[in-house]
Chains A and B, each alone.
Chain A
């Protein structure tokens, strides 16, 4: 079955960067777009960006443009999300989510990033 397993929780200083990984299994990574979604404590879901693992093309939310980079390593079926210039407001859980059709059918377990 499809599984998305994310890297563990991180604690970062303001101004630092964080790179979260999302390892896919149970399907071919290049067959589906992969999205990243942010959820601040007690808040809703917020779309950050997407990568087409087949060619590596990306698209980002204007809110994060310039600070977020999504990459992939097809040899390990892993997608990465790097967020730079971290500030306290970036404290959140970050999810990777596979797109199937026009929905997010599988989600990673989430990675808590604390900026403090």
Chain B
């Protein structure tokens, strides 16, 4: 099972919006509405930001939103803030040899 493909890095100025893509196949992203997104600050454990493609857990800012089209999911961060600078990973349920597959990860830099 290959990792989902994410851009290595994206950047934006405070207040701007950035979008991170997560490309998979019909066996994972495209086949199920079970895409989730995680934020990881250096030295910290990942934190769930989005589940089931577009749902936010309680306590997560509404500046974070998720969507999916075909085999590609996306995470959008609106009104970028300095504390959003972190690594972001997508994951999807899969019908292949492993139940879940992670994305390659994207470093978000706030300029």
How many B residues touch the partner, as a band? Answer: 20 to 34
> Interface size class for chain A?
20 to 34
- Contact assessment for A108 and B45 in the assembled complex, using a CB-CB cutoff below 8 Å: yes
Given contacts A44-B3, A44-B89, contact A104 B38 (CB under 8 A): yes
Is A110 interfacial (CB 8 A cutoff)? Answer: yes
Q: Which of B16-24, B47-55, B67-75, B76-84 interfaces with chain A?
A: B47-55
Does A101 count as interface, using CB distance less than 8 angstroms? yes
Query: Which residues of chain A come closer than 8 Å to B98, judged between CB atoms?
Result: 47, 59, 61-62
| Bound complex: CA A95 to CA B43 (Å) | 12
A44 touches B48 (CB 8 A): no
A46 CB-CB contact with B under 8 Å: yes
User: Is B57's CB within 8 Å of the partner chain A?
Assistant: yes
Q: A35-B100, A44-B102, A47-B98 are in contact. List 15 more A-B contacts (CB 8 A).
A: A37-B102, A44-B3, A44-B105, A45-B38, A47-B91, A62-B98, A101-B51, A102-B51, A102-B52, A103-B34, A103-B52, A104-B36, A104-B46, A105-B57, A108-B45
Binding site for A on B (CB under 8 A): 3, 32, 34, 36, 38, 45-48, 51-52, 57, 89, 91, 93, 97-105
